[in-house]
Structures are given as C-alpha cells and as structure tokens.
Structure 1
Amino acid sequence: MLSPDTKGVFAIAPTPFLPDGSLDAASVDRMTDFYWEAGSDGLTILGIMGEAQKLEPEESLQIVRQVIARAGGRPIIVGVSAPGFAAMRRLAGEAMAAGAAAVMIAPPSTMRTDDQIVGYYAQAIAQIGTDIPFVLQDHPQATLVQMTPGVIKRIINDNPSCVMLKHEDWPGLDKITALRDWERDGSLRHVSILCGNGALFLELEMQRGADGAMTGYAFPEMLRDVVDLSLAGDLDAAQDLFDAHLPLLRYEQQPVISLSVRKYVLQKRGAIAHDTLRAPGPKLTAPTKADVERLLARLARTDSRAAF
C-alpha cells in the first residue's frame, strides 16, 4: 500500500500500441522493465499520458494486471478517474485486488465551486471504499478545475485514505509552500507530494518541499538523480543536471504533440516498440522528429544516457 511518507520517482507510463492501434502486450513488459532499470520507485498507469480515455474497460484491466504482474511487488498506482462512479468503483476494486498500491482520482471538469470539489471526493471515496489509498490529482490544465490550497487541505483532512497529492498546478510553487506550512503548524495532516508538469519545475518543486516526481519525461534517470540530489541537499548539482535536460523538457511540454514526442523518444530508447498513439492522435512530422534528434544529440554532450 502507498504511504503518506512515500518519496522518490513514480514514472507515469504510456500505454503501448501496435501500429494498427491495438494493445502491444509485448511492449507492456518491455516498458515496465525499462522503468525499473531507470531507477523508478513505482509506476503510475492509466493516467492522461496512458490514453486511458481511449481504452475499453477490459483493456484497462488487462494493462493493470499485466503491469502489476511484471512489477514483482513494486508499487503501482492506477488512475481510476471516470465520468461515473460505477466505472470508477469497478476499476478501483479490480486494481486493488490485482495488487495495486493505490488509485489516483482527478475531479471531473464540471466541478466549479470549492464545496462541489470537496463533496465530489467525499462521494468518490464512499463509492470505492475508505480502505483504498488514493492519490489526489490536481491538474487544472487538463481538468479545468482549480483547487485552491484550502480545498486540498479540506480533502486531505476529511479523507484519511488520501495518502498523496499529485501536484500539477502551474504556477503552483506557492501551493506546495502553503501546504507544507500548514503541516508544520499542525492544521494539515501530512501526505506525500509528488509533482508532474512534465518535470518542468522539478528542481524548484523539490526545494519547496515536494517528495519526488510523478511524470512521464522520457528520461526517468534524470528525475531519479534530481530527486536524490535535492533530498540530499545538493541543490547546485540537481540544478545543473536539470538545466542540461531543460531544452528537451520544454519541447516535450508542447500542447497537442507532447505525448507523441515522449513516445517517439521512448521508442528510440527501446522502452516500447512503436510510438503509436491510439486515434485520435497526432503523428510527428519529419521536421519535428529532426528537432527531437538535434535536442537529443545536444543533450548527449552532457548526459551520456542520451547517446543511444
């Protein structure tokens, strides 16, 4: 089970597809092994990067069972966000029965007021069960739901099964500071904070009190090193490594093509056999691929792990 004291790197994994758009089962094992070899502490599957909204329910369960079986006891977080509670309840129950460490829940885009958001999580947890650890996903760029620090505080304190915040607000550094300040004065229960945003602000988020990274950048080794260096207090070394990767990070973060770029790099690294996105989804043009190749070549000058 996931703990409020969890630290480290939980890579967000894509869903591998064959060129015809069907699931690539062989690449699921290959990808899972890649993340362990890169130093990930755990994996998060069926998130936005996993194209979960394009999967049939049975396909989602297939991915969950296969990744957990391949993980060999390492912690797996399963995204269970869904328009209705019936689908969420089934996926959460099946995932935990298969051996998942926790589930992750994002608010639906229809939530507007603070009370609506807090009430939604109370209902969701009542549906899936208070015994299932859950990750509160705060990603307003994707969900269009703005959760203030005060709302997050209410959700955490109202729901003991909330063990982690996946922080992806932007700008959001002051949100981390506010939550940690409340922990210090005793008004907020401690939970783990892992950060997304494509790792674009990781070194700063660590300095504000984050416990690690939960994102899909195609070099999880860099995430591992920046997190470890930050936790050890070597902020300059963490910043230097982060700065070397920043041009590729920035390129990856572009709207629309972000996942296409990540899958292209992961394919080149041997993590997956194909860079296919399930339709609808963009394909990279030849000039865009050339951009990525040039960025990788430049990165390899300072980080040999990009020389593949």
Structure 2
Amino acid sequence: MKLTSDIRGVMPIAPTPFLEDGAIDTASIDKLTDFYLACGATGITVLGQLGEAPKLEHAESVDIATRMIRRASNLPVVVGVSAPGFAAMRALTRDVMDAGAAGVMIAPPNTLRTDEQIVGYYKQAAEAIGADVPFVLQDYPLTFTVQMTPAVVRRIVQEVPSCVMLKHEDWPGLEKISTLRGWEREGTMRHISILCGNGGLFLDYEMERGADGANTGYAFPDMLCDVVRLSASGQREEAHDLFDAHLPLLRYEQQPGVGLAVRKYIMMRRGLLSSAAQRKPAAVLTAAARTEVDHLLQRLARHDRRAAFVN
C-alpha cells in the first residue's frame, strides 16, 4: 500500500513515546496506534517534526516505524525521513519502505533560499530515495525558514512525479490553498492531496478553502477527525462549533518550545501515553503550566465530554 494523491481525512502526527529514563515506550506506541485506528484516522505519520526524530538513532527510528506499520494494519503510515544529507535520508527511506511504509515526508533544509534551490533540492531528494517512493512535501516556513511560494509548490508537483501530497503549514496560508486548487481546476497543475498542519489551528477554514484534511498533532486527534468529517459532509456550523470549543487549547498547545510538553501531558492523562517524558534536550512543563492546561481541559469538558474523561 503506497500513498497516493487521493489521500483524505486525518493523518495524525504521532509523538514518540518515551519512558522516564529515555527508553522507547513500545507499549504506548501500541496504545497510540490502536487509538488512531479507533478514532477514524485515515493514516498515521511517525517521526514528524514533533516526533523527536533528531533524538533517535537510525535503528530506533526503524524499530518505531516498523512497530507502528505492523500495528496499524491497513492504514497507510508515512515516515519522516528529513536529514542533513541524502545518504541518511536514503538509508532510512529504504528501511521503512521495506517494512511496509506507504511513503515518506521530506522537510527542506534551512539553507535553501531561492526558488531554484528549493526545486532543485526536491528533485535531488526524489532521485536519492528512488522515484518509486511517494513523498510528502512539508511546507513549514515558521520552523524551517524556507519560503515556498505557490509557484514553487506547483513546479515541484509538476516536475517531481513522486510528490503526492503537500503538508501545508504556511501561516498565513489560506490564500495558498485557494491558489493551488485554482490551478488544479484550470488544468495547470496536477492534483495532489493537501493535508494541513500547524496543530490544526486553522483547520476550520483550511477545509473550506479546499484542503483534504489534517496531517498534524494535537492532544485530541479524534476532534480533528470529527471536524474534517463534519466539514466534508457539509455540516459547516457543527464543524465550527466543535472547532471553536477546542480553540483555546489548540492555541495553548501551539506555543513554540513547550507545545510538545503540553501535548504529551494531556495524552498521558488521556491514557494514551504512560509518561509525558521527552528525550533530552527537552522543555519542562512547569507546575503553573500544568494548572493552566488542567483549567483549559475543565472548560473544554463543558462542550466536549471527551475532555471530562481525562484522568
């Protein structure tokens, strides 16, 4: 099963579970995978930007991806393989594709500045990993400082056939989605899937601009699934009502640096992780921050009962 440009719905970005001593928590990998299967996810992404991939050894990365691929059964699993050089990227890609991954995700190095450099990089990356490997183009200028205009995205899509999906995380980025979909309608760009990131912070209107769903992390990925489903079925106000209820927590979790600590803390309280531990170096969630998150959960529970069952 390989990733195609027709993928829709929600592909949660899975955090990497660790025990307090920094060891990989395999039991929590299984819990997370089972939860994603049960909540309506249409795929899973592992070793993403907030999956702490740079803190892992190559063998650990392969083991984590392989365990989730096998557990996920028929769901496509995409593996983040971004690396400073193509040798490491190629090695990880080969190993996870052999294990059954549906495709890989590639972020741009922060050294790219011109349009030609960006397009050239993805041409070389596709050649390095193999033209038969579907890949996700990660457009996240807030973190990677690489600005991809809609025209650059179109060039990559047109010139690199193995690019099947855009992980859209530009901010502001609603007009970019509209532009790309407009080019598709005109026939000047082939269709690719557009799944959105940024913690889901703009998912309500991204769906209305033509996005196919979400490819991001959030402590309530089941809510993302519901919003995408409601929006796709034309239940606009219901989708917005649910999204609005979660917006204060989404905003809090989106804080740079501490966001993953917030997410893991909530997922631990939901019973999806046995520990909120991150592998060092890691941000620490202070007692004051935990109190604020607890308050946000209490308020959310008034509108979404899933938050009331957080232990």
TM-score (norm 1): 0.99
In structure 1, what is the equivalent of residue 78 of structure 2? 77
Q: Which amino acid aligns with 2:275?
A: H
Structure 1 residue 239: deviation in Å?
Answer: 0.6
Q: Which runs of structure 2 are paired with 1:125-204 in the superposition (5 Å)?
A: 125-204=126-205
Corresponding residue number in structure 2 for 1:86: 87
Residue in structure 2 matched with residue 220 of structure 1 by the alignment = 221
Percent of matched pairs sharing the same residue: 62
Shift of residue 220, structure 1, vs aligned partner = 1.1
RMSD: 0.7
Q: Deviations over 1:198-256 (max 9, x none)?
A: 00000010000000001101111110111011111111111111000001001001111
Question: What are structure 2's unaligned runs of at least 5 residues?
Answer: none
Deviations 1:88-128 (A, max 9, x none): 00111111111111100011010010000000000000111
State the 1:73 CA deviation. 2.3
Cα deviation, 1:134-181, whole Å, max 9, x if unaligned, reads 100001111111100000000000011111000000000000000000
Amino acid at match of 1:224: C
| 2:64 is the alignment partner of 1:63 | yes
Distance in 2 (alpha carbons) for counterparts of 1:30 and 1:236: 32
User: Relative to structure 2, which stretch is displaced further, 84-93 or 29-38?
Assistant: 29-38
C-alpha contact (below 8 Å) 1:183/1:189 kept by paired residues: yes
Distance, in Å, in 2 between the alignment partners of 1:285 and 1:21 is 19
Do residues 299 (structure 1) and 310 (structure 2) align? no
Residue in 2 aligned with 1:253? Answer: 254
Paired residue type of 2:187: G
* Residue of structure 1 equivalent to 2:286: 285
| Alignment-mate amino acid for residue 93 of structure 2 | A
**Which amino acid in 1 is paired with 2:66?**
R
Which consecutive segments of 4 or more residues in structure 1 shift more than 2 A? Answer: none
Matches within 5 A, 1:36-115: 36-115=37-116
CA distance in 2, matches of 1:291, 1:36: 30
Matches within 5 A, 1:228-247: 228-247=229-248
- Give the gaps of 5 or more residues in structure 1: none
Write the distance in 2 (CA, Å) between the matches of 1:73 and 1:234: 28
Q: Secondary structure, in 3 states, of the residue corresponding to 1:44?
A: strand
In the alignment, the residues of structure 1 paired with residue 256 and residue 198 of structure 2 have an alpha-carbon distance, to the nearest angstrom, of: 12
Q: Distance in 2 between matches of 1:74 and 1:4?
A: 15
Using the TM superposition, give the Cα deviation of residue 81 of structure 1 relative to its aligned residue in structure 2, in angstroms: 0.5
Amino acid at match of 1:40: A
- What SS does the corresponding residue of 2:11 show, helix, strand or coil? strand
In the alignment, the residues of structure 1 paired with residue 25 and residue 261 of structure 2 have an alpha-carbon distance, to the nearest angstrom, of 16
For the residue of structure 1 that corresponds to 2:12, the secondary structure is strand
Taking the aligned partners of 2:260 and 2:36, their CA distance within structure 1 comes to: 17
Partner amino acid for 1:175?
K
Aligned residue-pair number = 308
> In the aligned structure 1, how far is the partner of 2:238 from the partner of 2:71?
34
Partners of 2:301 and 2:250 in 1: how far apart? 14
**Partner secondary structure for residue 174 of structure 1:** helix
Code of the residue aligned with 1:55 in structure 2: it is L
SS of the residue 1:307 aligns to: helix
Match status 1:19 vs 2:14: no
1:39–1:220 Cα contact (<8 Å) kept: no
TM-score (normalised: structure 2): 0.98
Distance (whole Å) between structure 2 residues aligned to residue 43 and residue 6 of structure 1: 11
